[in-house]
Amino acid sequence: MNKSDAGYSITEKVFERREMAQICEAFVGADLARTKAGARHVLRIPEVRVLAAHPALTALAATFIGEQPTPFRATLFDKSAASNWLVAWHQDTALPLGQRVADSAWGPWSIKGGVLHAIAPTSALATVIALRIHLDDSTEANGPLRVLPGTHTGGVLTHEEIQGLASVVAPVACVASAGGVVAMRPLVVHASSKARDNQPRRVLHIEYAASVHLGPGLELAVG
């Protein structure tokens, strides 16, 4: 099965551990509005912008969404013994937009972290890929991402449809060493459990789009 069929991929040793340590140091010195799960809008950090443009990442993103992928959003997920959390089975269906449009294919609309968002149609979400750069080792015990392979092919699903898939599709734990990268289509059903040990699990989640222009009046908010 190729990467696009499964809706995800795991690539080890894309970066050296020392490079990941440097990114962690950049977060320590950055002025970020922290949440329990980490921090939003971290693409504003210069070191993150440089990393997002790294040829290894853009080439990986291109295998899913075509040439010249553009990074438009980055989030730090920081799971530890001090800040432990779980996420139930779901899809990522909201995209940040520059302005509201009167298009029935988009919405409901909301404001998240001061940025306008809308639930996007399947056609738009198919042009997006998330690359999860592991700043620490991700293991079975520290609450890794889990995916239900191939479930992105059903489009945007209802809660009941997601629960039905979770009962019949075998999940895959996306574990990777520091410097490894997990690619994930937003519509592949995914979740994560609470960590069972004290090992931190920091992940830099960078989202790329085939184009920031999604239609008349529709443009991704970048940042």
Can you give the chain as a three-state secondary structure string? Answer: CCHHHHCEEEECCCCCHHHHHHHHHHHHHCCCCECCCEECCHHHCHHHHHHHCCHHHHHHHHHHHCCCCEEEEEEEEEECCCCCCCEEEECCCEEEECCCCCCCCCCCEEEECCEEEEECCHHHHCCEEEEEEECCCECCCCCCEEECCCHHHHCCCCHHHHHHHHCCCCCEECCECCCCEEEECCCCCEEECCCCCCCCEEEEEEEEECCCEEECCEEECCC
Mean pLDDT of the chain: 93
Q: What confidence category does residue 1 fall into, taking pLDDT thresholds of 50, 70 and 90? A: very low
pLDDT at 131: 98
Average pLDDT, integer, range 92-99: 97
**pLDDT tens-digit readout, 30-64:** 888 777 778 999 999 999 999 999 999 999 999 99
* pLDDT surpasses 80 at 197: yes
Report domain extents, the chain.
3-212
Average pLDDT, integer, range 86-114: 94
Q: Which CATH superfamily is domain 3-212 in?
A: q2cbj1_9rhob like domain (2.60.120.620)
pTM attached to this predicted model? 0.94
